[in-house]
Amino acid sequence: MTQSILITGANGLLGRKLVDLLGGRKSLRLIATGKGEKRIPGTDFEYVSLDVCDGDAVRYVVKETRPTVVIHCAAMTNVDACELDPKACQAANVDAVRFVIEGCEKAGARLVHLSTDFVFDGADGPYDENAVPNPLSVYGKCKWKAEEYVKVAKIPAAIVRTMLIYGVTPDMSRSNIVLWVKKSLEEGKTIRVVNDQYRMPTLAEDLAAGLAEIVFREKTGLWHLSGAEGMTMYELALKVAGHWGLNPELITATDSASLNQPARRPPRTGFILLKAQTELAYRPTSFKAGLNIVAQQLLNYAR
Ligand SMILES: NC(=O)c1ccc[n+]([C@@H]2O[C@H](COP(=O)([O-])OP(=O)(O)OC[C@H]3O[C@@H](n4cnc5c(N)ncnc54)[C@H](OP(=O)(O)O)[C@@H]3O)[C@@H](O)[C@H]2O)c1
């Protein structure tokens, strides 16, 4: 049977990497959806405008396009904006997931849903899939609530938690830590970066490849997919400076309390990747090689 995959939030970083990976494959119909106009280059896929907060639109598009799988990437991903506007976070990160589930149930589609390391409190990472969530922020709480809806959905479903995605695409709507550090240092700006938040940064291409394995191997249940190397955000910033030969003295280490951001962040997350390595043959790129990929893509996009 020909697979048809519908991606929500396809204009975002992960969505676009999925379109790059899956577009134009023989015996695969790809339906990219995003809020508003198509901002993804290329034509080897269909594009449908879809606001996932509009329940009628979600049900209509899923019914009309009849996907066999939905990969739900759309989300309100700015953690501080979520903290400041919990209603908007609830709408985009919980209610929308219920609409997507309803659409999948009606169409008989499988669901692959994206979640986050922010479901954990970060007291004792790295975490495996059996660890018990205890979110600290509105974003983390909403993403966990959404997971609970996916768990009881009447369709085969996978929940994929990831963290600190980095990468580049043309015309991005949101930056990420690697691009922000690089741009700031190139402009000679001083930056303060926390040394009390530990993460395993995830190359967007690795995550897209892991998701494809989940789709094609028809996996369900909980999955942790991230990079394999842990570091503090400060260490990450130094690595970015070193990679592009930028001045590390512009980077000052600070702590989360001094930064005083609206949303609390978990101090130490990170994932144990054994399940993904064993069952998906998931082999994430090293951080150094990931930066090389980003550097090459930046050169290609500038041409
Ligand atoms: N980025 C990370 O570090 C990270 C970490 C852990 C988990 N995750 C999860 O991974 C998934 C993908 O994240 P990402 O990095 O690709 O984020 P992203 O680049 O911010 O992409 C999210 C996309 O969702 C779209 N969107 C927001 N509200 C929407 C709506 N109502 N209807 C339709 N689309 C909507 C955005 O549209 P616009 O482009 O028009 O704004 C954007 O294209 C999300 O579920 C996120 O929670 C991300």
C-alpha 72 to ligand 1 mean position (Å) = 9
C-alpha 252 to ligand 1 mean position (Å) = 29
C-alpha 73 to ligand 1 mean position (Å) = 6
pLDDT digit string (tens) for the chain, length 303 residues: 678 999 999 999 999 999 999 998 888 999 999 999 999 988 899 999 999 999 999 999 999 999 999 999 999 999 999 999 999 999 999 999 999 999 999 999 999 999 999 999 999 999 999 999 999 999 999 999 999 999 999 999 999 999 999 999 988 878 999 999 999 999 999 999 999 999 999 999 999 999 999 999 999 999 999 999 999 999 999 999 999 999 999 999 999 999 989 999 999 999 999 999 999 999 999 999 999 999 999 999 888
What pLDDT sits at residue 303?
Answer: 81
What pLDDT sits at residue 206?
Answer: 98
Contact assessment for residue 17 and residue 75, using Cβ atoms and an 8 Å cutoff: no
| Closest ligand 1 atom to 166 CA | 3
Nearest CA residue ID for atom 17, ligand 1: 12
Strand pairing of 231-232 and 198-199?
Answer: antiparallel
C-alpha 7 to ligand 1 mean position (Å) = 11
| Closest ligand 1 atom to 165 CA | 3
What pLDDT sits at residue 43?
Answer: 84
Within 8 A by CB and 6+ apart from 92, the residues are 52, 53, 74, 75, 76
| Closest ligand 1 atom to 74 CA | 24
The preferred substitution site among 6, 7, 8, 14 for testing ligand 1, maximizing ligand atoms within 8 Å of CB, is 14
The pair of three-digit structure tokens given for residue 58, joined into one six-digit string? 């979600």
Residues 272, 95, 142, CA angle at the centre, nearest 5°?
Answer: 40
Contact assessment for residue 161 and residue 187, using Cβ atoms and an 8 Å cutoff: no
The rounded Cα 143 to chain-centroid distance in angstroms is 12
C-alpha 247 to ligand 1 mean position (Å) = 31
Closest CA to 164 of 240, 293, 269, 92: 269
Within 8 A by CB and 6+ apart from 95, the residues are 53, 55
| Closest ligand 1 atom to 51 CA | 32
| Closest ligand 1 atom to 161 CA | 7
The preferred substitution site among 73, 164, 202 for testing ligand 1, maximizing ligand atoms within 8 Å of CB, is 73
Catalytic site residues? Answer: 139
Within 8 A by CB and 6+ apart from 53, the residues are 91, 92, 95, 96, 99
The rounded Cα 291 to chain-centroid distance in angstroms is 18
What pLDDT sits at residue 236?
Answer: 98
The pair of three-digit structure tokens given for residue 287, joined into one six-digit string? 């951080």
Contact assessment for residue 14 and residue 114, using Cβ atoms and an 8 Å cutoff: yes
Q: Provide the residue type at 46 as one letter.
A: E
Residues 168, 7, 69, CA angle at the centre, nearest 5°?
Answer: 135
What pLDDT sits at residue 1?
Answer: 62
What pLDDT sits at residue 173?
Answer: 78
108 by DSSP, 3-state: which?
A: coil
**Location of structure tokens 């969505």:** 15
Nearest CA residue ID for atom 3, ligand 1: 164
CATH, range 3-174+200-229+271-285 = 3.40.50.720
DSSP 123-188: SS-SB-TTSPP---SHHHHHHHHHHHHHHT-SS-EEEEEE--EE---TT-SS--HHHHHHHHHHTT
Burial class (CB in 10 A: 0-12, 13-18, 19+), 191: middle
Torsion angle, alpha carbons of 184, 188, 190, 194, to 10: 40
Nearest CA residue ID for atom 40, ligand 1: 35
Ligand 1 — pocket residues by CB below 6 A? 8-9, 11-15, 34-36, 51-53, 73-77, 92, 114, 116, 162-165, 173-174
Q: In angstroms, what is the C-alpha Rg of the chain? A: 19
* Entry pTM: 0.98
C-alpha 78 to ligand 1 mean position (Å) = 9
Burial of 131-151, coded b for 16+ CB within 10 Å and e otherwise, reads: bebebbbbbbbbbbbbbebbe
